[in-house]
Amino acid sequence: MAKDFTTRAENYSQWYNDIVKKADLAENSAVRGCMVIKPYGYAIWEKMHDALDKMFKETGHTNAYFPLFIPKSFLSREAEHVEGFAKECAVITHYRLKNDPNGGGVVVDPEAKLEEELIVRPTSETIIWSTYKNWIQSYRDLPVLCNQWANVVRWEMRTRLFLRTAEFLWQEGHTAHATEQEAREETAKMLGVYADFAEKYMAMPVVRGVKSPNERFAGAIDTYCIEALMQDGKALQAGTSHFLGQNFAKAFDVQFLNKENKLEYVWATSWGVSTRLIGALIMTHSDDNGLVLPPKLAPIQVVIIPIYKNEEQLKQISEKVEVLTKKLQARGISVKYDDDDSQRSGWKFNEYEVKGVPVRVAIGPRDLENNQAEVARRDTLEKASYALDTLDETIEKLLVEIQANLYNRSLQFRDANIRKADTWDEFVSLLDNEAGFVYAHWDGTTETEEKIKELAKATIRCIPFDNPLEDGKCILTGKPSKQRVLFARAY
């Protein structure tokens, strides 16, 4: 598998787009850069949403909702923040249309110009911190642990379904704390939640680490991230958690009285993951036959396909299937029985394979005779027959096994594609010929980082947690370095 991506990579974009299209996940809309998420794609997002939302609540967070529009002046309150987002903002300048005096259509009514322009949120720190100012006066009001499920808009120059679209769905957590330590703990905790979600639900191994200053979120003191490796050897930032220090508290004047009756600025965090995770899921597991979904995120975990020649046979099969379906559902497994008479079984096999359904059960006359069913697993494409009476138990175990296998397979691939480079030539050669992560020394300066990006098109993905200290020389400048950092070409 380690080499598979190099052949697929030549047409990786096309491969990716084909999967999205064939699995019926999403399509480009008539609106520039925006995506239509189709029902099946949205069902995957809902699975992600539900699992994450549960994890957020278990860690003490509650959901809230803040406005879509941000007054321009809010955005510019935090200097680095506005600089980071200014270039990709959609701006609302008018609030009304009128009939075109020169023709049939409508035009923007110049009379209806806004006093202050509104920005369509690219992220909600500013609008939320302007609100938190009213919510927080005392240490008793802290912490504030809010999450918002929302859409945001970033006017990207080039878009790609799920991975980068002008509008996307995400969640953004925004928390306020009395102490730096508590805020730092929150930042780490939520990164942990994301890493758990990626590994346990998406079956996608991730590297946890901290971003270099250059890659930091605009307005953050520290940005932590989970980085995943896609099958074409490119890295993908799958989630971020930011320690914002007191930057936003100062920008929006959010202070509280502590127990000593002293006024202090509040400490902040923010963290988010988006529909990009669906892109990550596609690029982590899918194969040339289409999408491959981990059981925990599959909208349909098991599809049952009857094979029959006449009504009588179908009726016999359906009776058996009804019992099986109930037993599976009792185990919390989502099942679809596809007895649609207008499609043939072969067509259905393909259909669900392309859609990544983890387990397919086929029951025909032969199986009825032997009181068994044919079970095919999507991850390995293997088929085997099992006794019908205990099939619910067999499938439950199989789903667990598929989930584990997908994770292990990806982990093996990821680990096989982390390589060390000690010289510049080696570094470039690894990126060109092998792709994947390259673990190399860096002198710690932004200048060098940018130069490397320019020359090798690779960025520092992160400085992994528990990174071993090791004396060495920067691959570009030869200056002393105390540790290796993780480079890659990235999405």
Partner RNA sequence: CGGGGUGUGGCGCAGUUGGUAGCGCGCUACGUUCGGGACGUAGAGGCCGCAAGUUCGAGUCUUGUCACCCCGACCA
Which residues here bind RNA, judged by CB under 7 A? Answer: 13, 17, 22, 28, 32, 84, 87-88, 154, 156-160, 163-166, 168, 217, 237, 240, 274-276, 289, 307-310, 344-347, 349-351, 353-354, 360, 362-368, 374, 376, 381, 383, 457, 490-491
Minimum separation from the CB atom of position 164 to RNA (A): 5
Pairwise CA distance, residues 198 & 191, whole Å: 11
Helices 391-416 and 311-330, interaxial angle, to 10°? 70
Least Cβ distance, residue 253 to RNA (angstroms): 26
**Nearest to RNA of 212, 237 (CB atom):** 237
**Positive or negative, the Cα torsion across 177, 179, 183, 186?**
negative
Rounded to a whole number of angstroms, the minimum distance from the CB of residue 484 to RNA is: 22
Tokens 């520092």: give the residue: 460
CA 344 to chain centre: 35
Q: Whole-number minimum distance, CB 295 to RNA, in Å?
A: 17
DSSP 431: H
* Residue number, 125 or 351, with CB nearest to RNA: 351
Here the tokens at position 169 are 């769905």
* Cβ at position 68, least distance to RNA in Å: 16
Q: At 315, give phi and psi (nearest 5°).
A: -65, -45
**Separation of alpha carbons 390 and 131, rounded Å:** 56
Distance of closest approach, residue 3 Cβ to RNA, in angstroms: 20
Nearer to RNA among residue 126 and residue 481 (C-beta): 126
**Which CB atom, from 249 or from 368, has the smaller least distance to RNA?**
368
What CA–CA distances, in Å, run from 259 to 177, 184, 185, 264?
14, 20, 21, 11
Cβ closest to RNA, residue 144 vs residue 406: 406
Identify whether the C-beta of residue 241 lies closer than 8 Å to the C-beta of residue 269: yes
Check residue 78 and report its DSSP letter: S
Q: What residues contact residue 232 under an 8 Å CB cut-off, 6+ apart?
A: 5, 8, 9, 12, 283, 435
Q: Which is nearer to RNA, 285 or 360 (CB)?
A: 360
Q: What are the structure tokens assigned to 360, written together?
A: 């397919």
Cα separation of 127 and 251, whole Å? 12
Q: Smaller CB distance to RNA: residue 266 or 452?
A: 452
Cβ distance to RNA smaller for residue 296 or 378 = 378
Gap between the Cα atoms of 177 and 190, Å rounded: 14
**Cβ within 8 Å of residue 353, ≥6 positions away:** 289, 290, 360, 378
CB of 115 vs RNA, minimal distance in Å:
28
Q: Among residues 163 and 440, whose Cβ is nearest to RNA?
A: 163
Length of the chain: 491
Distances (CA, A) of 279 to 43, 169, 231: 14, 13, 12
87-110: burial string, b at 16+ Cβ within 10 Å, e else: eebeeeeeeeeeeeeeeeeeeeee
Query: What's the CA gap between 96 and 120, in Å, rounded?
Result: 17
Instruction: List, edge to edge, every strand of the sheet that includes 69-71.
Output: 69-71, 113-120, 91-94
Q: In angstroms, rounded to a whole number, what is the distance separating the alpha carbons of residues 390 and 368?
A: 14
Name which of 112 and 455 has its Cβ closer to RNA.
Answer: 455
Closest contact distance (angstroms) between CB of 303 and RNA is 11
Closest distance to RNA from the beta carbon of 407 (Å):
22
Token representation of residue 378 = 């999507």
Measured from the CB atom, is 213 or 364 closer to RNA? 364
> Least distance from C-beta 381 to RNA, angstroms?
6
CA distances from 480 to 94, 245, 415, 467, 485 (A): 55, 30, 27, 17, 13
Which residue number, 139 or 149, has a Cβ lying nearer to RNA? 149
Q: Which among 438, 437, 439, 459 has a CA at the least distance from the CA of 448?
A: 459
Least separation in angstroms between CB 296 and RNA: 22
* Nearest distance, CB of residue 87 and RNA, angstroms: 6
